[in-house]
Structure 1
Amino acid sequence: MKKRKWFINLLKEEKWLNDRLAEGYACRRVSSLGGYLFEPTDRKMVIRLDYQRQMSAEKYEEYKGTYADFGWTHLKGSRWGSVQYWQKPADGRDEIFSDAGSQIAFYQRLTHYALTTACLFFIYICVLFDGHIFTAMFDVKASYLTEGLWEMEGAMFWRAFLFETPFAMLRFLPAWIFGIAIVVSLYSYFLYVKRKKEYA
């Protein structure tokens, strides 16, 4: 079974993946373009997501080896600062952050991940819209650059509109991704502070 879905919030992505696994599937592949390949299985599986900043090849192998020792299979990720996907048969020891320190560190990394995403899309917006974020987010027409498009009528309008819409989405959607990433970073930071207070 193939599924395609895009996420900015890792917590929501992890929940969505585990909901699919609960239906009797195991995840076999995760692509960088939001593609997921699932296969039926008789075993109950669990997936956990982690975000790690860039690390050396030696540290990365050590990182993967630690989880492999506890039965986790590495589905996707790299040492260059990316989301790491881990899967294993459910056995009651299904958390990869088992102590206070690791949970706090995870939410700190998650905040960094969301802020990095927001910064990248902010730069993209500044280049396209000269820094006018609200125009990028709420003025859909500003994303359509065909001269005279909104004065066209009939079939000519629809041909031009449908042709440019995919390109307009590349201009319009990044502004919303930026906004969502900011919200996710604030939420992650809230969880980071909350966990830190709980275990202080």
Structure 2
Amino acid sequence: MKKFKIFFDIEKEEQWLNAQLQKGYRCTDISGLGMYTFEKTDKRYVIRLDYQDYLSKKKFRDYKGVYEDFGWIYIKGSRLGGIQHWQKEDDGRNEIFSDRQSQSSYYKRLMSYSFGLGIPLLAFSYMLYKDSGLYLTEGLWSMKGSLFWKAFLFETPFALLRSLPAFMVVFFAGSFYKAYRKYSMFKEK
């Protein structure tokens, strides 16, 4: 079975993948374009996601080795950084972060991820809008009647596409704040 799904929130992706596991479908592959491949299984599995920054080949080998020693199967990820997908049979020891320090470090990496994606998008949005705005049709606002509405309706989908980076900035700012709150919670106690 294949399903197409795009996530911008690592925790929601993990919840969705675990819901598929509860239905009896084990994840076997994840493409970079959001295509998830599942196979039917009778065994109970659990999946966990981790975010890692760039790791050298040796550190990546060590990182994978630690998880594999505890029975985790590596599904998808990259040593260059990003979300790492881990799956194993449900044995009651299903958490990949065993202490407060590792949980705190995880949320700190998520904050870095959100910040790292949000700042370039903020700069791009500023460059995109500073001189032209969203609607680029010459004289659009001085047009009258049906000519205005035709031009306005034609230009609106393009204006929405140009506004996408600004929406992503807001999303990543929210994601940063959410990770910061959880990071603070683990850091304080």
One-letter amino acid of the counterpart of residue 197, structure 1: E
1:162-191 alpha-carbon deviations (Å, 9 max, x no partner): 9x83x5554222221210110110110111
Residue in structure 1 matched with residue 181 of structure 2 by the alignment: 190
CA distance in 2, matches of 1:175, 1:111: 19
CA distance in 1, matches of 2:78, 2:9: 19
1:89-119 alpha-carbon deviations (Å, 9 max, x no partner): 1111110001111111111111111111211
Q: Does 1:173 align with 2:164?
A: yes
1:122-176 alpha-carbon deviations (Å, 9 max, x no partner): 13212321399xx6xxxxxx2x54557896969xx59x839x83x5554222221
One-letter amino acid of the counterpart of residue 189, structure 1: Y
**Structure 1 length-normalised TM:** 0.81
Q: Does 1:129 align with 2:138?
A: no
Indicate if the aligned counterparts of 1:8 and 1:114 stay in contact, CA closer than 8 A.
no
CA distance in 2, matches of 1:131, 1:97: 47
Cα 1:147–1:34 shift into 2, 3 Å: farther
Residue in structure 2 matched with residue 52 of structure 1 by the alignment: 52
Residue in structure 2 matched with residue 110 of structure 1 by the alignment: 110
Corresponding residue SS for 2:97: coil
CA distance in 2, matches of 1:52, 1:67: 13
Residue in structure 1 matched with residue 70 of structure 2 by the alignment: 70
Residue in structure 2 matched with residue 85 of structure 1 by the alignment: 85
Indicate if the aligned counterparts of 2:104 and 2:183 stay in contact, CA closer than 8 A.
yes
One-letter amino acid of the counterpart of residue 171, structure 2: I
Residue in structure 1 matched with residue 5 of structure 2 by the alignment: 5
Q: Does 1:161 align with 2:154?
A: yes
Residue in structure 2 matched with residue 43 of structure 1 by the alignment: 43
Unpaired runs of 5+ residues, structure 2, are none
Indicate if the aligned counterparts of 1:49 and 1:85 stay in contact, CA closer than 8 A.
yes
CA distance in 2, matches of 1:3, 1:153: 43
Residue in structure 1 matched with residue 28 of structure 2 by the alignment: 28
Q: In the comparison of the two structures, how many residue pairs are matched?
A: 185
Displacement of 1:6 in angstroms is: 2.0
* Percent of paired sites with the same residue: 45
Cα 1:110–1:131 shift into 2, 3 Å: farther
Comparing 104-113 and 6-15, the one that deviates more: 6-15
What RMSD, in angstroms, separates the aligned Cα atoms of the two structures? Answer: 2.7
Corresponding residue SS for 1:79: coil
